[in-house]
Structure 1
Amino acid sequence: MDKFFANLHLVLAVGLAAAIALIAYVHPDPSLLANYVLRWLHVFFGILWIGLLYYFNFVQIPTMPSVPAELKPGVSKYIAPKALFFFRYGALLTVVTGLSVAHVTGYLVAALTFAPDYRLIGIGMWLALIMAFNVWFLIWPAQKKALGIVEADADTKAAAAKTAMIFSRTNTLLSIPMLYAMTNANFG
C-alpha cells in the first residue's frame, strides 16, 4: 500500500478511472458521458489552478520575506518551479475543458458573445481567459527570470518578481467574480 500511495501518478490514474467509472454508473447514457467527464475534469483542473493561485497569494508570497536567506533556495529552486508547472497546466487544462464543455453542450458562441441567456457564464469564461493569458504570458515569463530559471541580473529579477506578483494578485482579484459567474450561471 505504501508503494501505491508513494506514486502520485498512479494515485491520479486510479482516481481518474474511479471518477469515470462513477460517472458512467450514475449517468449511463453514452451520449452524455463526454459532457459529464469534461465537466468533472473542468472542475478538477479548476481546483488545481485556483488552489495554487491561492497558495501563492495567501501563503508563499506573504511568507517569503520572513524565510531565512539560507532557506529561500529550497522554495525558489524546488517548490516554486514545481508548483508553477501545475499552476500553468492547471490553467491551460481548465480553459480547454471549460471551452470543450461549452462546445459539447452548444453554448460556446452564445456565452463568448454574451447572448442574454448566457451572459453570466460568458463573463466567467472571459475572466478565465484573461487569467490564463496572465498565467502564460505575464506571470510565467516573469517567474522564470525571478527564480533564475533564465539568466537575469539582480535588477531584472527584482522587477520580474514584482511583475509576477502584480499579475498574480490581479488573477486573485479576477478569480472572485469569475468563481461567482461560473457557479451561478443559469443557462439553457
Structure 2
Amino acid sequence: MSILRLHPGSDKLKFVEQVMTINPTLSEWLNLIFRWVHVFAGIMWVGTTYYFTWLDARLSEEEKAVANTGMPAQIWMVHSGGFYVVEKRKVPDLVSRTLHWFRWEAGTTWLSGLALLIVMYYIGGGAMIDPDVKDAVVACYQQLLGGRLNAFFDLSLHYYWFVIALGCVTFIGGWLVYDLMMLSRLRKNEKAFAVIAYMLLVGITYGLTRVLSGRAAYVHVGAMMGTIMAANVWMRILPAQKKMIAAINEGRKPDDALSAQAKLRSKQNTFMAVPVVFIMISNHFPGVTYGERYNWAILAVLILVGWVAAKFIRRA
C-alpha cells in the first residue's frame, strides 16, 4: 500500500510506501519472548530427533546381533542416577498402554519462529531490505519490464510488500517442491536426491541474496528448511504413525512402507537441523557470513559442511 505525503521543502505530493509498524518497547519484549521460546523448543526438538536417530541405529545393530536367538533387541542406558531399558517393537500390544508422542517440540519451534520472523523482519521491513539491493532490483525491473507494467505495478512503491510475499512463497514453495520430490521415485536414490536438493538450495540462496538484505536472505533459507522439517513431522510422519496405530488396533499388520517413509523423512530432518542451527547463530557474525560480498557462496559451503557433520553426528 502507498500513501500521499508532502515532502519537506517541496510543494509536490509524492507517493510513499506504507509499512506495518509496532511500538519499539513492545517489539523488544516480543522479540525476547519469542526468541526464548524458539531457542528452547528448538533444543528439545533437535535433541529428541537425534536421540531417536541414535536409538534406532543402536537397536538396528542389536536386532542383527540377536536375530537367531528369539530375544528382543534392547538398549541399556544409564542417566541421572537410574538405569533404563529401551526395546523396539514393530507390532506392539497397544491395549491399555499410554503412548507418548513427540510432536509439540516441532510445532512450538515453527510457530515461535514464524512469530519471531514477523516481529523482526516483516513489521517495519528495515531488516528485510538493503537499500542498495532494492535500487538494483527496481532498476532491473524497470528496464526489463517497464512501460505499461511499471505503470500498473510500480515496484519501487511496493517493494516492502513484494519481499514479504516473496518470503511467504519461499516457505510454501520450498515445502511443495521438497514434498513432490519425496513422493516421486527420486526418493529411492538418496544420492541423486541430495545433489538435486543441494543445487536447488544454492539457487534459492543466491536468488534471495539478490532481492533481500543478506541477513534476511540467510534467515529465510533457514526458515524454509525449518518449515520443511516441521511439515515433515506434522503432515507426513505423524499421519503415517497414526495409520500404523490404527492398523494395529484393528488387528492388521502395519504397512512397512509407512514406517520407511516416516523414517526417511526423520533422517532428512537430522541433516537439515545442523545448517538451520548455523543460520540461527550466523546473525552474530555478519563479518564472515551474510555481510560478505559472496554471502550466498559462504552459506552454500556451510550447508554442505553441516550435512557432512550431521552424517558423523548420526553415527556417534
Superposition TM-score, scaled by structure 2 size = 0.42
The corresponding residue for 2:275 is: 177
The corresponding residue for 2:31 is: 35
The corresponding residue for 2:58 is: 63
**In structure 2, do the counterparts of structure 1 residues 111 and 45 end up closer, same or farther at CA, with 3 Å as the change threshold?**
farther
The corresponding residue for 1:46 is: 42
Residue deviations 1:65-84 (CA, integer Å, cap 9, x gap)? 326438435xx6669x42xx
The corresponding residue for 2:116 is: 101
2:247–2:254: 8 Å Cα contact kept in structure 1?
no
More helix by share: 1
Hey, what's the Cα distance between the residues in 2 that align with 1:31 and 1:125? Answer: 20
Shift of 1:111: 8.3
Structure 2 segments unaligned to the other structure (5+ residues): 1-24, 64-70, 74-86, 124-163, 171-207, 292-316
1:111–1:119: 8 Å Cα contact kept in structure 2?
no
The corresponding residue for 1:90 is: 105
2:247–2:253: 8 Å Cα contact kept in structure 1?
no
The corresponding residue for 1:17 is: none
Shift of 1:31: 5.2
> Residue 150 in 1 paired to residue 250 in 2?
no
Residue deviations 1:53-108 (CA, integer Å, cap 9, x gap)? 1111122x1133326438435xx6669x42xx3x3111111111111111112347
Number of aligned residues? 151
CA root-mean-square deviation: 3.0
1:111–1:121: 8 Å Cα contact kept in structure 2?
no
Of structures 1 and 2, the larger Rg is shown by 2
2:103–2:234: 8 Å Cα contact kept in structure 1?
yes
Structure 1 segments unaligned to the other structure (5+ residues): 1-28
Shift of 1:30: 5.7
The corresponding residue for 1:6 is: none
The corresponding residue for 2:228 is: 130
Shift of 1:143: 2.2
1:145–1:151: 8 Å Cα contact kept in structure 2?
yes
1:111–1:122: 8 Å Cα contact kept in structure 2?
no
Hey, what's the Cα distance between the residues in 2 that align with 1:154 and 1:130? Answer: 30
Shift of 1:155: 5.6
**In structure 2, do the counterparts of structure 1 residues 143 and 116 end up closer, same or farther at CA, with 3 Å as the change threshold?**
same
Hey, what's the Cα distance between the residues in 2 that align with 1:178 and 1:31? Answer: 24
Shift of 1:110: 8.3
**In structure 2, do the counterparts of structure 1 residues 116 and 33 end up closer, same or farther at CA, with 3 Å as the change threshold?**
closer
> Residue 116 in 1 paired to residue 213 in 2?
yes
Hey, what's the Cα distance between the residues in 1 that align with 2:254 and 2:32? Answer: 48
Residue deviations 1:115-161 (CA, integer Å, cap 9, x gap)? 13311111000000001110011111222344xx21253361x2221
1:88–1:135: 8 Å Cα contact kept in structure 2?
yes
2:41–2:109: 8 Å Cα contact kept in structure 1?
yes
**In structure 2, do the counterparts of structure 1 residues 126 and 31 end up closer, same or farther at CA, with 3 Å as the change threshold?**
closer
**In structure 2, do the counterparts of structure 1 residues 165 and 96 end up closer, same or farther at CA, with 3 Å as the change threshold?**
same
Superposition TM-score, scaled by structure 1 size = 0.68
**In structure 2, do the counterparts of structure 1 residues 101 and 155 end up closer, same or farther at CA, with 3 Å as the change threshold?**
closer
Shift of 1:164: 1.0
The corresponding residue for 2:88 is: 72
More strand by share: 2
1:92–1:132: 8 Å Cα contact kept in structure 2?
yes
Give identity over the alignment, percent.
Answer: 31
